[in-house]
Amino acid sequence: MSSMSLTEMARCLRTSRALQRYLDGEADDLTAARVAAHLEECRRCGLQAQTYRAIKQALRGGNVDELALHRLRAFSGSLTASDPNADDDRW
C-alpha cells in the first residue's frame, strides 16, 4: 500500500462507494464523470466495475439461478447414483 498515494486511495474509496449507483445509472453527472475517469486510469477499480457488470448481467439473465439449479440437480443425482451417468462426474 505504500506505493499508493493518499489521494489515490481516497479516489478508489470514493469510486467503489459510487460504483453501484454509477452502474445503475443513478449517479449524478459529476460523480458519473469522476467514476468513469477513474475507471479508465485505475486497473483495480476497472476490474471491480467489470465484475459488478458481469454479476448484474447474470442476475438479469437469470443465469445464476439456472446454474445453481443445475448444480443442485447434479449433486442430488450423484447422491442417489441410480443413474449410471452420475458416476462419471461425481464430486
Residues of the shown chain interacting with Zn ion in the complex, contacts defined by CB under 5 A: 12, 42, 45
**Which of 27/45 has CB closer to Zn ion?**
45
Provide the minimum distance between the beta carbon of 11 and Zn ion in the complex, in angstroms, as a whole number: 6
**Which of 46/77 has CB closer to Zn ion?**
46
Give which of 73, 47, 22 is closest to 86, Cα–Cα.
73
Provide the minimum distance between the beta carbon of 45 and Zn ion in the complex, in angstroms, as a whole number: 3
DSSP string, the chain: -TTS-HHHHHHHHHHHHHHHHHHTT-S-HHHHHHHHHHHHH-HHHHHHHHHHHHHHHHHHHTHHHHHHHHHHHHHHHHHH--SGGGGTT--
Provide the minimum distance between the beta carbon of 49 and Zn ion in the complex, in angstroms, as a whole number: 10
**Which of 23/42 has CB closer to Zn ion?**
42
